[in-house]
A and B are shown apart, each in its own frame.
Chain A
Amino acid sequence: MNIVKTLARTASVSIALALTASIAYAEDFSKGSKAKEFGLNEAVQSTFSAKVVDLLCEVAGDCTDNCGNGTRQLGLVRDADNRLISVLKNAQFQFNGPAEDLLLYCNKKVDVDGIMIGDPEEHNTQFYMVQFIKEEGAADWNKANQWTKKWKERNPEVAEGKGPWFRRDPRVVKQIEAKGHFGLGKEADIKFAKENQ
């Protein structure tokens, strides 16, 4: 009889845990969010607590010091359901990724506010744009806008100049000079300009 009771108790606990995990998966993370949706594809406000992780370490077991020191993409393991969230973007609207903003909190617990984007039916999941971040429990939010500052530090020779960073970036300029704006050579650029300008 004791075995039956133990089995029953264990089964109940497992079911409860399963239901908790399922509920967390379906949880509405939009409550309290101040993130902007910008009319993006399937955008949903989403604020939650998470741990910042090095994706290569978390997924492939390929770990290094301080999450790669800015050389690697980072992600978020959400506290509520232990899901690994793939982060594509920070809050800046100049083609900037999230690594510099997340790196400040490598392997730390954070609170984030942003949006989930992308069609979950087409891609099995959604992806994150982090707009605000703070160490878990801290009072003040920080805007996720570190990328341009770090770019200037990496590129002092072109840090100050006319126009946005991406028109001066040496790696971008090099590719466009070699292959043109469409990647098909300068002839394609000339033909396009002739037909459209």
Chain B
Amino acid sequence: MLSCAKLFKSLLISSSVLFLSATSSFAATEAKPIEIKGEIIDTWCYLSGVMGGEDAVIGSAHHTCALWCAAGGIPVGVLDEEGKIYMVLKLEGEDTLAQSDNIMEIQSDTITAKGLHYVRDGVNYLVVQDVVANDGITNFNHEDFGAVPPNSFPKNYSAN
């Protein structure tokens, strides 16, 4: 009798764990303080492959396109040194679609930021509280790829 009860108890616990794992989004999202270093990227071009491989849609090569996408309201991300992407939800107290220049000025830059990290259904979300360092653009990959896409650099460029 007791062993039967134990068996069902363990079944109940296992199935509850299974249920909670399968529906992880039922759980509240926990914030973890984080300090992160990475490049500010355009998530759509990076993830969709629409403009080519991942190496070409970051850095200086993709800078103008990243500006277009950020101005166009495509979510901005931080690509860390391990290749993990964090979707930026807030930048130093400002909503990311607030139409200010703040989000534009750091496109393609490598930044170090302190903030809060949330994981929900496999996606990393980031509330940037403080950009503690900005190294500017550190990936000069336009030397290898040119402008990506090519029409992001004027056909007949004039400095004036």
Contacts and interface: CB of A to CB of B under 8 A. Distances in A.
A60 B96 CA distance: 15
A96 B73 contact: yes
Contact of A88 (B75, B101, B121): B75
Interface in B1-43: 1, 4-5, 8-9, 11-12, 15-16, 18-19, 22-23, 25-26, 29, 31, 43
Nearest to B44: A88
A40 B89 contact: no
Interface stretch (A104-112, A135-143, A170-178): A170-178
Contacts of B75: 73, 86, 88, 97
A125 to B, nearest CB: 3
A171 B66 CA distance: 12
Given A4-B8, A56-B127, A166-B72, 11 more contacts: A8-B8, A15-B11, A15-B18, A56-B90, A59-B120, A71-B96, A81-B23, A84-B120, A96-B74, A127-B47, A147-B73
Interface centre among A89, A125, A174 (most CB of B within 10 A): A89
Contacts of B123: 84, 86, 124-125, 127
B63 A181 contact: yes
A18 B19 contact: yes
Contact of A175 (B95, B99, B107): B107
Contacts of A175: 67, 101, 104-105, 107
A154 B97 CA distance: 12
B96 A72 contact: yes
A88 B69 CA distance: 10
Interface string B50-79: 100000000011011101110111110000
Contacts of A43: 48
Contact of A182 (B29, B101, B142): B142
Given A82-B23, A125-B121, A97 B72 contact: yes
Interface in A92-141: 94-100, 117-118, 122-125, 127, 129
A19 B44 CA distance: 33
A10 interface: yes
Contacts of B99: 71, 154, 171
Contacts of A174: 101, 104
Contacts of B11: 7-8, 11, 15
Contact of A10 (B12, B142, B157): B12
B97 A99 contact: yes
A95 B65 contact: yes
B18 to A, nearest CB: 4
Contact of B121 (A40, A83, A192): A83
19 contacts: A11-B8, A14-B19, A40-B49, A56-B89, A56-B90, A60-B31, A60-B127, A71-B96, A84-B25, A88-B48, A95-B74, A99-B97, A147-B72, A172-B68, A181-B152, A182-B63, A182-B137, A184-B140, A188-B142
Contacts of B71: 95, 166, 169, 171-172
Contact of B50 (A22, A40, A147): A40
Contacts of A63: none
Contacts of A4: 1, 4-5, 8
Given A11-B15, A40-B48, A171-B99, A21 B23 contact: yes
